[in-house]
Chains A and B, each alone.
Chain A
Amino acid sequence: MFAQAPDITRTPTVPVVSGGIAFVPVLQGGQTTLVSIISPVVLVPLGDNWLIESRGAFEGDFTRSNGTGPFGGKIHKELEYLQLDYIVNPHLTVTVGRFLTPFGIYNERLYPVWIRDLQADPLILPLEQSSSNGVMLRGGFSAAHNLNLNYAAYFSTLSTNETLASDRQIGGRLGAFLPNQRLEIGFSFQHLLQENHPNRFGAHFEWQPRALSLDIRSEYADTESGRGYWIESALRLNAISHATVFKHTQVVVRLQQFFTKPGAPNGNAPGANTKEPEIGLNYYFFDGLRATGSYGRQLSSAGNANVWTAGMTYRFAFPLGRGGY
């Protein structure tokens, strides 16, 4: 172990445009939806301690009119975050603006199409309020040998603007990460300061065993609109063989359940109790380009359905200026 970490205080930076493009047709219950997404990310560093970061999403969900007609539909636009970060010290960053709500892990860490292992959203994703407008304190630090803690606490104000929608709420998330075991567990809490002032709870778990290229993740959420969980396991097949085709292939399995609450507003969440096992396959041509496919069987008291996805995702990044030293 080293006495002191490398000094990077004078490392030059440059504004960066990054993001992802995805084309993933979804066939659910006999209906095809052509899902096309462009999601640009803009990063503008200022000095040594400031960062402006933003991500937008343009999503077109095109379906056949009358079942057999031409594909058509609207393009949804959303500003997912536009925030100013100030790194106050190694333990604290202050964020103001519009930011991804730190409730659970999917919304904040796994949502981008170029990161998620299965392209279909988890059933409980609508329970995680996607974005908030306000102020947030967050940070990560080493609390002891082999124990890192991370936290986020925020206040959000109400916005009814369609592109900048957010609720008036307070909340936070606390996570404990064991680097040697590559294991994280965490808890989230949210208190809505409007309507019936409900409380929302979440828990998450992530584990990457060192011996295998395996990711195991899980998340649980309990809100006034329902409760549910998902657990996902993704295995890179390089453990089976070092042949190129195996090194680039990943198999994903996910099981999820959603439980409604009687008389509760469900928004975009399922309207009936639902269970869904899924299996998927990803093939990485190179770091940013991936072919993806999955099959799931939705078992619901409102009717069962098969869910197929197949498509491509691509992640891009380029500097707005000179990239080298």
Chain B
Amino acid sequence: MRILAALVILVALAAAQSGNKSSESNTAASPSPAQNSAQAADIRVEGEKRFRTNCGRCHMPPHKFPPRMMATMVRHMRVRALITDEDMRYILAYLTQ
């Protein structure tokens, strides 16, 4: 019985410790609104740069289309213009922000 009680206490302590870690990691993984805003701004700058480098070779600065349209058109241009996967990600993020 004592052994069982000790096991229950150990499991409860482990669960509590794990919960603390999880809550710490959740806190660490959730950036503040200011961090989010800064990251979005960085992505926009990098996306615009990559748009001008890749798409700007044939196209004018983009007319803003709705996001779903942009996603389709960027997939089309990825295949047609052979832009890299990373460039495509930044360009789509820039065009849909």
Contacts and interface: CB of A to CB of B under 8 A. Distances in A.
Interface in A1-33: 2, 5-8, 11-16, 18
Nearest to A50: B75
Interface stretch (A140-148, A192-200, A225-233, A257-265): A140-148
Given A43-B72, A323-B68, A5 B53 contact: no
B79 A141 contact: no
A12 B69 CA distance: 9
A92 to B, nearest CB: 11
Interface size class of B (residues with CB under 8 A): 35 or more
A72 interface: no
A313 to B, nearest CB: 12
B93 A317 contact: no
A96 to B, nearest CB: 12
Contacts, number: 126
Given A5-B89, A93-B79, A139-B82, A323 B65 contact: yes
The 10 closest A-B pairs by CB, nearest first: A323-B66, A90-B85, A140-B82, A150-B82, A5-B89, A14-B68, A287-B63, A6-B93, A11-B71, A13-B71
Given A13-B71, A325-B67, 12 more contacts: A2-B43, A2-B46, A5-B89, A6-B90, A13-B68, A45-B72, A51-B75, A140-B84, A182-B57, A287-B62, A317-B65, A322-B68
Interface of B: 42-43, 46, 50, 53-54, 56-63, 65-69, 71-73, 75-76, 78-90, 92-93, 96
